[in-house]
Amino acid sequence: MLAQATPLRTPCGEGETVWHAWGEGEPLVLLHGGSGSWTHWLRNVQALAAAGRRVLVPDLPGFGDSAQPPGGRDADAVVGPIAQGMQQLLGDEPCDVVGFSFGGLTAGLMAAQHPERLRRLVLVGAPGLGLRSKRLPLTSWRAQATREGRDAAHRSNLATLMLYKEEAIDALAVALQAANVPHDRMQGRVLAMTDILARTLPAIRCRVDAIYGEQDALYRTTMAELAAVLKSGPTFGELVLIPGAGHWVQFEDAAAFNRELLRLLDTPLER
């Protein structure tokens, strides 16, 4: 996948944000989740590029190969470098942005603070909606002395938070998790456990849609409340629930996710 990508770099504090781009056409920016990298979209970028989009995916500041953002260790500190990077790479024209989990929270904050950057926003499993006050219990992979032990911890955490079906927790999922989490330098994040995105939705001017796995571990017991919070946004359009998929919905059921995302992106914007 990297061999097929065009590498791009934009400023980030004392370093750079590392981007990867595939395809040609109307730009589409994808923002990954916490403790992740561009590989959260591994099963999506080719399909989206084949549909005629220029797909741009950064390693968010503080994750993957990108530098630490200046001024903080949470989503609010990531907004500035990503907005600046989009302006440098795409110019003044707004574009479509899709944000997964932490990336959805970041994208929502960016939509309110930098409305000139977004044409439309699609939230994927985004937190910050005031529906959770406790974190899911995860296993410490750092405490494991062997690779087998670390892989078992990653597998357990994928089952707890990220993926619903046991068969979805395959060797690739474990390998991506094992590669991504050591590069998370944004420890102590708290905004996801607040209602900051819910409070931000009324200030977003672009169209907002959402895709969630119906079995998302963060929301499977509060789907009605989730829908109500999202629909409180004045520009909210549609909530798509994908059956049998968990939080990392775009990986667990990539075919359904890609189909629904492209459908939402093709929905005409109101004038």
Per-residue pLDDT, 134: 85
Per-residue pLDDT, 85: 98
Round to whole Å and give the CA distance between 218 and 216.
Answer: 5
Q: Render pLDDT for 78-123 as a digit per residue (tens, 0 to 9).
A: 999 999 999 999 999 999 999 999 999 999 999 999 999 999 999 9
- pLDDT grade for 202, boundaries at 50, 70 and 90: very high
Q: How far is CA 65 from CA 11, 12, 75, in A?
A: 13, 12, 17
Average predicted confidence (pLDDT) for the chain: 97
| Burial class (CB within 10 angstroms; exposed 0-12, middle 13-18, buried 19+) of 185 | middle
Helix, strand, or coil (residue 26) = strand
Share of the chain above pLDDT 90, in %: 97
Q: Where are the beta strands (DSSP E) in the chain?
A: 6-12, 15-22, 26-31, 53-58, 95-100, 118-124, 207-213, 236-242
For residues 162-170, give the mean pLDDT.
98
Per-residue pLDDT, 239: 98
Strands 6-12 and 15-22, sheet pairing: antiparallel
Contacts by 166-174, CB closer than 8 A, 24 or more apart: 168/246, 168/251, 168/252, 172/42, 173/251
Whether pTM > 0.95 for this model: the answer is yes
Per-residue pLDDT, 270: 72
Least confident window among 6-15, 44-53, 133-142: 133-142
Phi, psi of 238 (to 5 degrees): -140, 140
Q: Render pLDDT for 124-161 as a digit per residue (tens, 0 to 9).
A: 999 999 998 789 999 999 999 999 999 999 999 999 99
| Burial class (CB within 10 angstroms; exposed 0-12, middle 13-18, buried 19+) of 154 | buried
For residues 217-224, give the mean pLDDT.
96
Per-residue pLDDT, 132: 83
Q: What angle do CA 195, 81, 233 make, to 5 degrees?
A: 30
- Kindly tell me if the per-residue pLDDT of 75 is higher than 80: yes
- Kindly tell me if the per-residue pLDDT of 71 is higher than 90: no
For residues 187-214, give the mean pLDDT.
97
The domain 2-132+189-265: what is its CATH number?
3.40.50.1820
Give the domain ranges of the chain.
2-132+189-265
Per-residue pLDDT, 269: 87
